[in-house]
Amino acid sequence: MSGAGRAAVTPTVVARRRARSPRQVALKWAFLLACIAYFVLPLLGTLLFSLRSQPFLSAFTDTLNDPQFYSSLEYSFVIGIVTIVVSIVLLVPTAFWVRLRLPRLRPIVEFVTLLPFVVPPIVLVFGLITTFSRPPLPLTGSNLGSDVLLVCAYVVLSFPYMYRAVDTGLRSMDIRSLTEASQSLGAGWLTILWRVILPNLRVALLSGSFLTLAIVVGEFTIANFLARPMFAPYLQLISGNLAYEPAAVAVISFAITWAAMGAISLLGRGSRSKIQVGGAR
């Protein structure tokens, strides 16, 4: 679709139509098929198990007829989108600036972004509640405040993924030359970030966004203790002493999250071409 446009901005190695040896091609497809089997079979296993419910398909119809299924999913997606935006706004300038001007700070920033992995979520959420349930920032007292706290906690959880994706993206371009060239044309920092850096980070930002959305939809502990009507706590609630329904919901939510990411990916494509038009002007 936008193949020509992509080549204009970031030349890539896509789709080389060079002749390859049959052995190479066979190896490539064998590897791909093995990967596909590895990823599809467990999903198939879950699906097959959920189909054992009686009457046939009841595990699916019960789920799809529950309005709370949709409302919690919608809530999670909205929180997810907000988290993605905040995470990008916070991390892209940081990663850019550290790469450009403060390279010595890199290990520290990297360490901080990896901390969310090793802090047990239960410690994180109780620490947040203790801190933000009293002045000066009594966030937990209201629903809106709790949502703000939830988004902030999820932005923290997105640190490892978003930062790493953005950093890898920045590494693959020459930001120093790009920045200096833009500055010589009189561009300010905001313009540089918005017009030059962001459009070149498209793949990285998509990766980071997918990962962030997946965390938000799947995260249980924090959503739960902040008492937000999110999807993961809902799942937990209905799973109780059931066998087939949780399996059905796992399959359904996998599919829906996948579809949502497809939508983000289309969105990312759209906004990118807009930025390009701006750049051409």
Partner 1 sequence: MTSDARPAPAARAGRRRLGPQWLGVVPFFAFAALFLLIPISYLVVGSFQDQQGNVTVQNYLNLSRPITASAYMASIEISFVTALLGGLLGFLLAYVVIAGGIPGPFRSGVMTFSGVASNFAGVPLALAFIFTIGRTGFVTVILREVLGLDLYGSGFTIYSKIGLEIVYLYFQLPLMVLIIAPAIDGLRRDWREAAEGMGATSYHYWRYIALPILLPSLLGSMILLFGNAFGAQATAFALTGGFINLVTILIGGQLSGDVLGDRNLAYALAMGMVAIMGVTILAYTWLTRRAERWQRS
Partner 2 sequence: MRTARSVSRVAPLAAAAAILFAACSGAATSAPASESAPAGSAAAGGTDLTALVAAAKQEGGLTTIALPRSWCNYGALLDGFTAKYGIPINNLNPDGSSQQELDAITANKSNKGPAAPDVIDVGLSYGPKAVSQGLVAPYKVSTWSDIPDTAKDPDGNWYGDYYGVMAFEVNTSVVKTVPQDWSDLLTQPKNTVSLAGDPTGSNQAVSAVWAAALASGGTLDNAQPGLDFFKKMNDAGIFVPVIGKTATVASGETPIRIAWTYNALADKDSLKGNPPITVVVPKTGRLGGMYVQAISAFAPHPNAAKLWMEYLYSDEGQIAWANGYCNPIRYDAMVKANKIPADVAAKLPDSSGAALPTLAQIEAANKTITTGWPTSVGVTVK
Smallest distance from partner 2 to CB 242, Å? 5
Cβ proximity to partner 1, 101 vs 274, nearer residue: 101
Among 23, 54, 55, 190, binds partner 1 (CB under 8 A): 190
- Residue 45 found at the interface with partner 1 (CB under 8 A): yes
Residue 43 in contact with partner 1, rule: CB under 8 A: yes
Site for partner 1 in 228-267 (CB under 8 A): 239, 246-247, 250, 254, 257-258, 261-262, 265
Residue 183 binding partner 1, by CB under 8 A: yes
Residues 151-180 that bind partner 1 (CB under 8 A): 152-153, 155-156, 159-161, 164-165, 167-169, 171-173, 179-180
15 binds, among partner 2, partner 1, none (CB under 5 to 8 A by kind): partner 1
Residues whose CB is less than 8 angstroms from the CB of residue 268 and which lie 6 or more positions away in sequence, other chains included: 202, 205, 206, 209
Per partner kind, with CB cut-offs from 5 to 8 A, the member of partner 1, partner 2, none near residue 277 is none
Nearer to partner 2, 129 or 173 (CB): 129
